[in-house]
């Protein structure tokens, strides 16, 4: 095990308050000790995000919204598409309505529902279309977010349900907006031509966290051209999630919206610093070892890996395209006809190529029994499945 190049101690316990970061750091230190002095990054990331009561998505700190946190502690860390414009969810609802009709299901399952804004937008629009689902189930591990979702969705209380896990069998339209990017990743780094797995260890005094690497048999799914040092991620947990979904899901269609790339772009030789990123107060940094439990940690999605995992598990890939193209295909401009200047500016963020329209992609999946004979409306033009 060798220290990562440029490693520096972080989270010195002598300056930590008795708070979320301090308590979470104590648990991480314990986990490192129990693991023999080195914790793989995916285990660290899981603790940083989901450790009960302390991880970023398991504590009560604000997360989603358009405004950064202020001195009063109010505000948010980042904004997602439903917070930018309700027309995001209203447009997605058109795709949901078509998919329900095409596959003969009358339920929606949303994973990682955030504030509940997307669920409310979809349900409001489906009711306006005259096609409300009999049941809208949210699967979310965050107790604090569940309380906020319940408040947001009070007007749909009779239709919305929550689940901690999948039933043995279920059918429905599956939605996942910015879910895959929050699933823990493994970090691998090529140093001097030798591949290492990057993990987290304790500094010599045992108080602070540092990066540490050790040789590994892990490799990216593509050969990385050149001999230069290269840091990247692999995504076993996101792919395992898709395989687990396939084991339980019998009928319907699913739409996963996230930032990411197909494999050839993800593992391009020039992307030598990886995609791992943290978000706090609408600012980004690349230091996940700092401010434990107080900021989001994400990595871009390898959509080729997700699609292959889906196919290996018996799911069909129905489409893949940019978010902007998907929303335009599904009728966003028709819904935005009477939008004012400010609303139009927000819609521009959703569809413009230099903003979310191209960075975010949409991948559609379905059990094989639900795949033949129809094309989701969001992919009627500009489908890029052939580029996965």
Residue 202 has pLDDT above 60, yes or no: yes
Query: How is residue 364 written in tokens?
Result: 């559609």
Helix H segments across 35-106? 41-50, 81-84, 86-103
Report, as an integer, the average pLDDT of 86-112.
Answer: 97
- Residue 15: per-residue pLDDT: 37
**How many helices (H) does the chain have, and how many strands (E)?**
13, 17
Which of the four pLDDT bands, split at 50, 70 and 90, describes residue 4? low
Range name among 8-17, 27-36, 292-301, 315-324 with the lowest pLDDT average: 8-17
Range name among 176-185, 244-253, 295-304, 345-354 with the lowest pLDDT average: 345-354
Task: Express as a percent the part of the chain with pLDDT over 90.
Answer: 80
DSSP 283: E
State the number of CA atoms in the 13 A half-sphere of 72 facing the CB: 3
Residue 2 has pLDDT above 80, yes or no: no
- Residue 337: per-residue pLDDT: 87
Among residues 162, 151, 145, 147, which one has the least CA distance to residue 63?
Answer: 145
Coil, helix or strand for 41? helix
Which of the four pLDDT bands, split at 50, 70 and 90, describes residue 18? very low
Range name among 63-67, 81-85, 283-287 with the lowest pLDDT average: 63-67
Task: Express as a percent the part of the chain with pLDDT over 70.
Answer: 92
Which of the four pLDDT bands, split at 50, 70 and 90, describes residue 327? very high
- Residue 140: per-residue pLDDT: 86
Q: What tens digit of pLDDT does each residue of 38-52 get? A: 999 999 999 999 999
Q: What tens digit of pLDDT does each residue of 235-294 get? A: 999 999 999 999 999 999 999 999 999 999 999 999 999 999 999 888 999 999 999 999
Report, as an integer, the average pLDDT of 199-206.
Answer: 92
Range name among 8-17, 195-204, 329-338, 376-385 with the lowest pLDDT average: 8-17
* Residue of higher predicted confidence among 107 and 340: 107
Which of the four pLDDT bands, split at 50, 70 and 90, describes residue 147? confident
Residue 14 has pLDDT above 60, yes or no: no
| Beta strand residue intervals within the chain, DSSP E | 2-3, 39-40, 107-111, 135-139, 160-163, 170-177, 186-191, 194-202, 209-215, 230-234, 249-261, 277-280, 283-285, 296-298, 301-302, 315-322, 360-367
Domains defined along the chain, listed by start: 81-183+237-387 (3.40.50.12710)
Query: How is residue 122 written in tokens?
Result: 């979809």
Q: What tens digit of pLDDT does each residue of 120-133 get? A: 999 999 999 999 99
Q: Is the separation of the CB atoms in 95 and 256 below 8 Å?
A: no
Q: What tens digit of pLDDT does each residue of 51-60 get? A: 999 999 988 8
Residue 6 has pLDDT above 50, yes or no: no
Report, as an integer, the average pLDDT of 202-227.
Answer: 95
Mean pLDDT estimate for the chain: 91
Which of the four pLDDT bands, split at 50, 70 and 90, describes residue 96? very high
Query: How is residue 44 written in tokens?
Result: 């660290």
Report, as an integer, the average pLDDT of 205-233.
Answer: 96
- Residue 13: per-residue pLDDT: 37
């Amino acid at each position: 095990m060798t220290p990562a190049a440029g490693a520096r101690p972080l989270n010195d316990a002598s300056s930590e308050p008795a708070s979320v970061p301090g308590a979470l750091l104590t648990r991480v230190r314990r986990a490192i000790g129990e693991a023999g002095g080195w914790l793989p990054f995916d285990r660290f990331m899981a603790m940083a995000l989901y450790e009960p009561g302390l991880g970023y998505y398991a504590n009560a700190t604000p997360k989603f919204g358009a405004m950064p946190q202020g001195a009063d502690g109010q505000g948010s860390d980042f904004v997602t598409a439903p917070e930018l414009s309700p027309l995001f969810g209203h447009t997605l609802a058109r795709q949901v309505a078509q998919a329900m009709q095409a596959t003969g299901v009358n339920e929606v399952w949303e994973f990682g529902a955030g504030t509940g804004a997307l669920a409310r937008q979809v349900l409001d629009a489906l009711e306006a279309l005259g096609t409300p689902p009999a049941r809208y189930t949210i699967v979310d591990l965050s107790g604090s977010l569940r309380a906020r979702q319940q408040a947001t969705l009070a007007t749909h209380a009779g239709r919305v349900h929550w689940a901690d896990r999948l039933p043995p069998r279920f059918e429905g339209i599956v939605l996942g907006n910015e879910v895959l990017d929050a699933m823990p990743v493994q970090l691998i780094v090529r140093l001097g031509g030798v591949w290492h797995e990057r993990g987290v260890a304790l500094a010599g005094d045992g108080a602070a966290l540092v990066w540490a690497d050790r040789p590994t048999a892990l490799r990216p799914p593509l050969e990385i051209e050149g001999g230069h040092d290269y840091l990247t991620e692999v995504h076993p947990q996101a792919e395992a999630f898709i395989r687990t979904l396939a084991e339980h899901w019998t009928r319907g269609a699913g739409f996963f919206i996230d930032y990411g790339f197909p494999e050839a772009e993800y593992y391009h030789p020039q992307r030598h610093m990886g995609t791992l990123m943290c978000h706090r107060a609408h600012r980004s940094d690349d230091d996940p070892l700092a401010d434990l439990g107080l900021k989001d940690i994400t990595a871009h999605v390898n959509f080729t890996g997700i699609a292959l995992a889906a196919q290996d598990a018996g799911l069909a890939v129905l489409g893949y395209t940019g978010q902007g193209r998907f929303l335009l295909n599904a009728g966003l401009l028709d819904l935005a006809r009477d939008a004012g200047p400010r609303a139009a500016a927000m819609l521009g963020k959703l569809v413009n190529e230099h903003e979310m329209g191209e960075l975010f992609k949409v991948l559609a999946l379905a059990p094989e029994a639900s795949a033949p004979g129809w094309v989701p409306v969001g992919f009627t033009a500009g489908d890029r499945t052939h580029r996965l």
